Structure formats: C-alpha cells, structure tokens
A = this chain, B = another copy of it.
Amino acid sequence: MDQIEEMADNLKLLGDKTRLSILTLLKEKELCVCDIVEALEISQPNASQHLRKLKAAGFVNETKKAQWVYYSLKTDEIPYIKAVLDLAPSMQEKLAQLQNNHC
C-alpha cells in the first residue's frame, strides 16, 4: 500500500463522529470504556468496536487496571493525526458531566 493510501485509511478513521469524539475526549486524559460510553451516550459494544479499530491503527494505547480497561492517546508518531486532534474542539464539558463513581 502506498503512502497516500495509508494516509487515506488513517484519515478515514477520523472521519467518523464517534471515533473523532473518542480521540478528542482522550486528549483530556485516559479513560476507561465506561467513561466513554457515558460521555458520548453510546452503547458499550459500539464503543468497544470503535476502540478496537483505533487500537489496530495504533491511535490508542490500552492498559488494564483491575476490571477496567483504560485507553489513552498514542498519536504522536503520526504527525497529521496529531495535527488534526490539536485543532479539534475541546470536549471537556462531556467529561465534566461524568459521575466518576464507578471506575
């Protein structure tokens, strides 16, 4: 696969509201799946599937802590992804609403 095609495939992952929102949330801090589900008001399997794609593309890191799986941004290696996320609008409000009692 040539450079342009790889770049297009990576950008395609950003071209989805849910995934772009997940990555933008992760700019603030690492989050577990249930945080993401709650902040974005999406179903758990939906979040899980998107996270799998983001992980496969190398956009996020995954770490397990007890029963929770935390995801964090890992986009510094891909300059154009980082450039886009740097320019994405803040989603702090979505995180502020979270009731951090579970994870």
Contacts and interface: CB of A to CB of B under 8 A. Distances in A.
Given A80-B84, A84-B83, A8 B16 contact: yes
This protein's copies in its complex: 2
Q: Report the contact-size class of chain A (Cβ under 8 Å from the partner).
A: 20 to 34
A8 B4 contact: no
A93 B20 CA distance: 33
A15 B9 contact: yes
Contact of A15 (B8, B79, B87): B8
Interface in A76-97: 79-80, 83-84, 87-89, 91
Interface of A: 3-5, 7-17, 19-21, 24, 79-80, 83-84, 87-89, 91
